[in-house]
Each structure stands twice: as C-alpha cells, then as structure tokens.
Amino acid sequence: MRKFNIPIYYKSSIITRLKEYRNLIDPKKNDLSPIELDLGSVKFLIPRHFGFCYGVQNAIEISYRTLEENPDKRIFLLSEIIHNPIVNEDLQFRGINFILKPTGEQIIPWEEISKDDIVLIPAFGTTVEIENKLKELGLQVEKYDTTCPFVEKVWNRSAVLGEKGYTIIIHGKYKHEETRATFSHSVQKAPSVIVLNMEEAKLLGEIILGNIPSEKFYELFKDKHSEGFNPEIHLERVGIVNQTTMLASETEEIANYFKSIMIQKYGEENLKYHFADTSDTLCYATYDNQEATLELLKYPADFAIVVGGYNSSNTSHIVELCQEKLKTFFISSEEKILSKEKILHFDLKTKKEVLTSNYIPSKEKVTIHLTSGASCPDSVVEGVLRKIHSFFENAYDIEEIAERIFQSN
C-alpha cells in the first residue's frame, strides 16, 4: 500500500501505531474485530478501519507539498480540501484561501485569480464548468488536482455507460460538492438524475412502472435531473452510481431495487439491456469503514464517540449506524468534551450542537466505542482518547497497555 507524506502532527503515537499494527498482522483485512484497549476502569473499543482514507491522504499530501514548493506564489483552494475543520483551518493559516463555499457560493471573484496563481481542486473533485474556467484562466489543472481516484472511477464508469445508452442514477446529496461534480461529469455523456435515499428511489421506480404519472417527475426531482430529461424515454435503461461517502449498503439496496423494477417491467431475460451492474464503483474505504463499524457494534458498550467534521457525509453515516445501537456523541475534537460530566456534541436532526450532562455512567468499568470519519486525523482521535482517559484516576497507563498490544505478536 502506498505511503503518503502527510504532516507529522496529523499522526499520533497510539492511534496511528494501532492502525499500522493491525495492517501488519492482518494485511488482507480478513479480521474486522475491533481493537480492545483495556485500561482497567475504562475500556475503548476501536474499529478495524477508520480515519484518513487513500483519497484524503492523497489530497493532504498534494496540498502541503504545493505550499512547500511554492513559497512565493498565491495558492487557492476551490473549496474545503476535505470535510474536516482542523485540516482546513491549518491550510488557511498557512496562506491558502478558498474561492468557493462548500455549497458553491463565490467567496473570491474569478477576476481576482491570475494565471500566475495556483488553484487546488479538492478531494471531492469539481464540475466540468469550473475545470473549464480554470483552464480559461491559464491555470495548471492536472498538477494541482487532488480529486480522489475513486470519485474519478465513478465519473469514468458514468461516461462509459452513457456512451452505451444508459441513463445515470446518482445516489447522493444533490448539494454536496462531490455529487455536484459527479452530476456535471455524468451529464456530458448521459441523461442523469439524483436520488437521495430509498424513498426517492421508490418514487422514481413508480414513475418507471407508470404508477406515478411521468409529468410528476419534474416536480419530484426538481433541480436533480439533467436538462431535457424525458422520463418516458430516459428511464428505460439505467445504471446506478453514488457519491462515494454515502452508505454503501444503501447504494446496494437502491441498485437492487432498480434491478427488480427492470425485471418487473421488462422481464429477467431482458435485464442486461435495461440495467447495468455498477457494484464495482463502490469506494473501498467507505465500504471498509462502514463494515468495520457494523462489526464494532456487535460488541457491547455504554456509548459511542464518533469524531469528525460536522459537514462530513461519510462521518454522519458512521454516526447513523452507531445511533441505531447505542447512545452516540458526534464531536469534532477533544475541545467538545468539556468535563467528565458535560459534552457538547452535534445533533444530525437539528444540525446544531447540544449539551449533554452525565454522559459517562457511574459504574466500576465503562466501555466506549471510539471511531472517526475518513477525513479525521489520528491525532484528533488520540486527543479524544486521552481526554476521556484522564477522567479515570485509577485507569492504567495508555502507553504501557498499547505497548503490550504491539508486542503481543
């Protein structure tokens, strides 16, 4: 596996080593059981996969290398490099300015960007329109493009399917940077429509079957379809791709649903013509992290802490998985742990931080699930680990217990 050169302060003495240890003893990822960091009065269960993925590490490496190699140039990012406030704030502190907000609104006018500047494309990728704008300005697009290879894989498959006459159904959040980018690339070759979840997929399925009038399509999928989309024509042959940070299981469920719809309407003997199998476009990191979380949740715990940016899609899905099983606190860093009695955490429903008291139960031994999103540095996870550990006066030394784990094989 490729080694990335990322700043040392994003790594940690415990969390990074635990991940390296697991990769060493289980290189083929056959064992999804969590690591048990038993510190006596408190035990942490840490999943097999979490934290920085390939695409995130690649984007961070390119960003910091660009800063190092171009001290005398103005450097910009189209928008947040990844959805983690600590990484984005550090890049801004080092002089990188953002041109757009994550939602697409302009911060710095294009007129202020010159061909002598550097503009980095974030890990989510960007739209064809913005790519063309950068080229018009005379900027080097390819050299400073940090688009995740797995996002590009989705774009490439969409193009191939479009050339074969398929319509692309994108499972994603239509305002998310990655989905906007995927949609922009997809429509170059194929009629395209975005569905958020299974509920929207079923609405589209009912339109395909004729149970919902085709004219309702434009109301139900307003702003979510390509120009000139005709549901009576363009829903005869479909392929499903996704925003790579969505729940992989939900994407598979949606794909299987449309497969069944096509069998129902056209017959199983005609399935290959009407439905394209795109299961190989699922992001391995998203899938691994979600599978490791599901395995983690098989182990009993008092509560879970998920660390990551509040606008991170992949992190929010990890939170959702945990919430189905136990009390879960979604925090961005150790600073949100105010004390042993109080924690400030993000509520996915209200989209606001809430204060919870007495979140750590009073008992002889407390067990905690600890994980993070794909854009969260190991150092931040370790900060959370050490902060909670400090509340337990009689807990064992972290370094000593970790060292025993490392030496056990």
pLDDT-based confidence at 409, cuts 50/70/90? Answer: low
Mean pLDDT, all residues of the chain: 95
- Predicted TM-score (pTM) of the model is 0.93
Q: Residue 18 pLDDT more than 70? A: yes
| Cα gap 193→289, rounded to integer Å | 27
Across 271-286, average pLDDT: 90
pLDDT-based confidence at 103, cuts 50/70/90? Answer: confident
Q: Are 110 and 137 in contact (CB under 8 A)?
A: yes
Domains of the chain with bracketed CATH: 8-53+285-406 (3.40.1010.20), 54-144 (3.40.50.11270), 151-281 (3.40.1010.20)
Q: Residue 281 pLDDT more than 90? A: no
Q: Is 240 left (phi over 0), alpha (psi -120 to 50) or beta?
A: beta
pLDDT in tens, 131-151: 999 999 999 999 999 999 999
Burial class for 214, CB neighbours closer than 10 Å (0-12, 13-18, 19+): middle
Across 53-75, average pLDDT: 96
| DSSP annotation of 282 | S
pLDDT-based confidence at 269, cuts 50/70/90? Answer: very high
Q: What is the pLDDT of residue 3?
A: 84
Burial class for 391, CB neighbours closer than 10 Å (0-12, 13-18, 19+): middle
Across 266-282, average pLDDT: 92
Q: Residue 408 pLDDT more than 80? A: no
- Give CA torsion, residues 383, 385, 386, 391, to 10 deg: 130
pLDDT-based confidence at 68, cuts 50/70/90? Answer: very high
Q: Which of 131, 178, 250, 382 is catalytic?
A: 178
Q: What is the pLDDT of residue 397?
A: 95
Q: What is the pLDDT of residue 1?
A: 63
Q: What is the pLDDT of residue 2?
A: 79
Q: Residue 5 pLDDT more than 70? A: yes
Residues in the chain: 409
- 129 catalytic residue (yes or no): no
| Cα gap 261→275, rounded to integer Å | 10
Relative orientation angle of helices 198-209 and 248-266, to the nearest 10 degrees: 10
pLDDT in tens, 146-197: 999 999 999 999 999 999 999 999 999 999 999 999 999 999 999 999 999 9
pLDDT > 70 in the chain, percent: 100
Q: What is the pLDDT of residue 331?
A: 98
pLDDT > 90 in the chain, percent: 92
| Cα gap 338→228, rounded to integer Å | 53
pLDDT in tens, 290-312: 999 999 999 999 999 999 999 99
| Cα gap 14→251, rounded to integer Å | 34
Tokens at residue 96, please? 């990188």
